[in-house]
Copies of this chain bind each other. A is one copy, B any other.
Amino acid sequence: MTSGEQLEHSDQPLDLLDARLLLLLTDEPRLGVLECSRRLGVARGTVQARLDRLLGRGVLTGFPPALDLAAMGYALTAFAVLEIAQGRRQGVSEGLAAINEVCEVHATTGQGDLFVRMVARSNADLQRVIDEMVDVPGVERLSTSIALSTPVPPRVRPLLEKIT
């Protein structure tokens, strides 16, 4: 009876309903399928199908718990740019991955070869983490900077709102 979304299915990865659903789940991630369907004004089966499709396509990869590292005792977040010996990226990456406090590593263009995000409990602890990184075979130069504040915390919301 109702209906009326714009259905230019596939090709365009996300349509309006997908975006609204993801936005809803972004704001209240523990909502069940039924509650989502009520809020969006569509049938439950539709929400279920959309979620399945998003998961299947790999757009939605899951609902991991978001942890506040600071609240867990990791007061510091720091970034490191490192230059590595030619052809050692694989090995260095593995070495970095073995360090617990290393939260993220990217290979980048530009002067630095690898870019690392890490956390530490204190300055002394950060020193220890840095030392561990320097000790990884293949690491030639490492420069660190500490995050003083985070004016824009990690977000995807604006990209979804753009669709809406």
CA distance A14 to B59 in the complex (A): 32
Q: Which residues of B contact A102 (CB under 8 A)?
A: 152, 158
Number of residues from A at the complex interface, CB < 8 A:
68
Report yes or no: B57 in contact with A61, Cβ–Cβ below 8 A.
no
Q: Which residues of B contact A115 (CB under 8 A)?
A: 79, 145, 147
A39 at interface by CB-CB < 8 Å? no
A87 at interface by CB-CB < 8 Å? no
Residue from the list B60, B67, B111 in contact with A61, Cβ < 8 A:
B67
How far is the CB of A69 from the nearest CB of chain B, in Å?
7
Q: Which residues of B contact A148 (CB under 8 A)?
A: 106-109
A41 at interface by CB-CB < 8 Å? no
Report yes or no: B67 in contact with A66, Cβ–Cβ below 8 A.
no
A37 at interface by CB-CB < 8 Å? no
Report yes or no: A26 in contact with B65, Cβ–Cβ below 8 A.
yes
How far is the CB of A84 from the nearest CB of chain B, in Å?
11
